[in-house]
A and B are shown apart, each in its own frame.
Chain A
Amino acid sequence: MRPDIVRVLQPIVIIAVSLVVVWLLLGGTQQFMNFLTLGAIYALIALGYTMVYGIIELINFAHGDLFMFGAFVAMWILTVPLGMTGAVDNPLQLTVILVVVMLPTMIVMGLLGTFIERFAYRPLRHAPRLAPLITAIGVSFILQNVIYSVFGPSPVNVPQVFPLTRFEFLGGRVSFLSLFMVAIAVFLMVLLQLFVGRTRLGRAMRSTAQDREAAELMGVDINQTIAITFFIAAALAGAGGTIQGLYFGSVQFNLGFFVGLKAFTAAVLGGIGNTTGAALGGFVIAFIEVFATQLGYSRWSEVAVFTVLILVLVFRPSGILGQQLGERA
């Protein structure tokens, strides 16, 4: 076979085989779809962590709360301007609604992310490491409590615009909703890969991540590049939030904390700074969580995820796909 065919086929075969293994381990389609949707959400958030860390070496603690904020923005757009209450059966209408919800959510979140970067992180770019980390925690609490004071402490229902029709697939029932959500997430991830790998701005991002000074000497506008990175990261979190709201049917102000922590674990697991790794990590974490539930240990699933985090950091801090960085990682 020609080498480039192997290069294309190899990942497809690996993905297909591992999906089948996961399907078997999870005992069928029902849990498998849960795993896919959850994995898509984690992957979208983990991408944001990994991009921000890759470019300015900051763990953006507020990222999980950006996701939560996005979920609330999507919920608000669905309820107030669109006035949705129940399911929409017309597929065309449904698509329009989804676009009208998701695109503005992503743009609003992107702008919010850029705003946070501009005013909370940029002034501290040369400060000791502790300073931006503490700022990020502060931002996280601000976002959480802004939502708390507007929407209150209890979960808020998200209108279920998707009809509950399901179809039989390999002995389980699959809803169109989850298929659609996974498709959107995969589409966004592919788009991101193309953007980072093939465009001028993507190249600027990669070079900034590699060596900021050298990139600047080569004419890259560092501030603009970092701002764009934050925009994309937050927009992806917004997309994740929209999916979360539509899939689980309700959103709560403290949603971002745990999901953010799990997504961060995913980013570390995949190798922080590596976008493919983050997506992979998201699905691995989702698998651990769903598998724990499957075995009847749902209460312990969070403990399991953090144990994985600590074990990965101890034994392979560079993650599955990251390079070996030794002690400094």
Chain B
Amino acid sequence: MTASAGAAGTRPQGFRGMRDRAGTLAASHRSITIIVGWIIVATALPLLMLVPPFSTFQTQSLWIDGFTNAGVFILLALGLNVVVGFAGLLDLGYAAFYAIGAYTYAFAASPTVPWISLHVPFWPMLLVGAAVAAMFGLLLGAPTLRLRGDYLAIVTLGFGEIVPAVFLNADKVTNGTNGIGGVYKPDLFGYQFTLGNPVPYYIAMVAIIAIVMILVYRLQDSRLGRAWMAVREDELAAASNGVNTVTTKLLAFALGASTAGLAGVFTASKLTFVSPDQFSFAVSFTILAMVVLGGMGNVWGVAVGAFLLYTIQSVLLKQLNPFFHTLNVPFLKDIDFVQYQFLLYGLALVLMMLLRPEGLFPSSRRRRELHTEVDEYVGDELGPDPSSSPMEQS
């Protein structure tokens, strides 16, 4: 169970050497790197949107608003990455925790809730929402994480359907399909966030992502993070080395859920509205596609994957039609690209798994794992996953 093997080995020369040294430096001061990196990215992006190819699509303030929404998906992808990328558990109902976070804030801060009327401030509710989502993660995970991975996928899929269904059907508590409106917007030391100005939301989002990212990075290299990777790569070996696999997986599940809770609280306050149809399976699927395309297990890769996919789906796909219309390309101008979004995601997932299972921006460890050739002699039983042996027990 060695940590990153990048620093080991012979010292390369020239550019590679410089890059490696910079990498080592960044790795040893990771929190500072993340904060500096985010400040640079977060200031550069809005400025870049003033430059022609981007500024022709939409105004800067719309871009900033879009980036904030993309930030929600970056948060979700970071959380799901802990579950899928670090611990190797397939969670297909991740949007359920997102929904739980959003409804938690809506219950605590909206005048239109049928059974209660509170106005709890936004910032503590961020933590409460995360905690409530984590609690549900524990509740769902405790009985089911003993099961083998693919059963977990189905249980979470079912959970992801149950939660919006409960919010939809329990209309005396949640207003059913109409949702809860008028959710209070955040304020900070008397400064009130407004719908017209996207910049405060943007800054808040960048700060939240930076904090979550630092936490995730620190977790990855901690004892727990190494236990996650051990469980992912070989559960049996991890267990015989003294890793409590159930607790380890449970913590991954709960921490992943808490990040979704954060994202949910933020979304509820930004949209000032929650309804069950915001949390369908398509959302879980989109987040999964982001994590897989970005590169399971690689924190920056996942963040970039989420950002790119969200921007492509919310801006570029909508712009492609007018674009091909102005160019008058015969076949392409009649295609509604937004309609094919999920078809493209599906194709991307399949092709990615077949051709480049480690994602666009892979973590080196994950890449080695996914490209391990199965030894012909020992056959399946000692393959990359201990539970992949055929059903010899049944």
Contacts and interface: CB of A to CB of B under 8 A. Distances in A.
A134 B292 contact: yes
B196 interface: no
Of B161, B340, B342, B391, chain A has the most CB atoms within 10 Å of the CB of: B391
Interface in B145-196: 146-151, 153-155, 157-159, 161-162, 165-166, 169
A148 B345 CA distance: 14
Contacts of A258: 161
Contacts of B51: none
B387 interface: yes
A126 B380 contact: yes
B393 A303 contact: no
Given A134-B288, A303-B169, A142 B394 contact: no
Of A303, A307, A323, chain B has the most CB atoms within 10 Å of the CB of: A303
B-side binding surface: helix, strand, loop or mixed?
helix
Of A57, A58, A268, A317, chain B has the most CB atoms within 10 Å of the CB of: A57
A325 B394 contact: yes
Interface in B304-329: none
B162 A137 contact: no
Given A213-B379, A309-B158, A327-B146, A135 B353 contact: yes
A310 B357 contact: no
A123 B354 contact: yes
Contacts of B353: 124, 127, 131-132, 134-135, 138
Nearest to B366: A128
B346 A141 contact: yes
Contacts of B391: 54, 57, 209-210, 273
Of A140, A145, A299, chain B has the most CB atoms within 10 Å of the CB of: A145
B221 interface: no
Nearest to B389: A57
Interface residues of B, number: 56
B354 to A, nearest CB: 6
Contact of A137 (B92, B147, B161): B92
Contacts of B348: 138
Contacts of A139: 346, 350
B144 A302 contact: no
Contacts of A209: 390-391, 394
B90 interface: yes
B155 A309 contact: yes
Of A131, A323, A327, chain B has the most CB atoms within 10 Å of the CB of: A131
B343 A149 contact: yes
Contacts of B340: 145, 149
Nearest to A260: B157
A142 B347 contact: yes
A138 B350 CA distance: 5
A168 interface: no
Interface string B324-361: 00000000000000011011011111100110010000
Interface in A35-57: 54, 57
Contacts of A211: 390, 392
A-side binding surface: helix, strand, loop or mixed?
helix
Nearest to A314: B143
Contact of A127 (B147, B285, B370): B370
Contacts of B162: 302-303, 306-307
A138 B387 contact: no
B88 interface: yes
A231 interface: no
Interface in A267-320: 268, 273, 299-300, 302-303, 306-307, 309-310, 313-314, 317
A135 B144 contact: no
Nearest to B143: A314
B65 interface: no
Interface in A189-239: 209-213
A112 interface: no
A322 B394 CA distance: 8
A302 B157 CA distance: 13
Contacts of A314: 143-144
Interface string B90-131: 101000000000000000000000000000000000000000
B343 A261 contact: no
A130 interface: yes
A144 interface: yes
Given A141-B342, A317-B147, A329-B147, A124 B159 contact: no
Interface of B: 84, 88, 90, 92, 143-144, 146-151, 153-155, 157-159, 161-162, 165-166, 169, 281, 285, 288, 292, 296, 339-340, 342-343, 345-350, 353-354, 357, 369-370, 374, 379-380, 383-385, 387-388, 390-394
19 contacts: A59-B153, A128-B88, A128-B370, A128-B388, A129-B388, A133-B150, A135-B354, A137-B346, A137-B349, A138-B353, A142-B347, A144-B346, A146-B343, A265-B158, A268-B151, A268-B154, A306-B159, A313-B147, A313-B151
Given A57-B388, A133-B149, A302-B162, 14 more contacts: A120-B354, A124-B353, A127-B353, A127-B357, A130-B149, A134-B353, A137-B92, A137-B288, A137-B349, A141-B345, A303-B169, A309-B154, A313-B144, A323-B394
Nearest 9 interchain pairs by C-beta: A138-B349, A141-B346, A145-B343, A306-B158, A142-B346, A138-B350, A314-B143, A135-B353, A126-B374
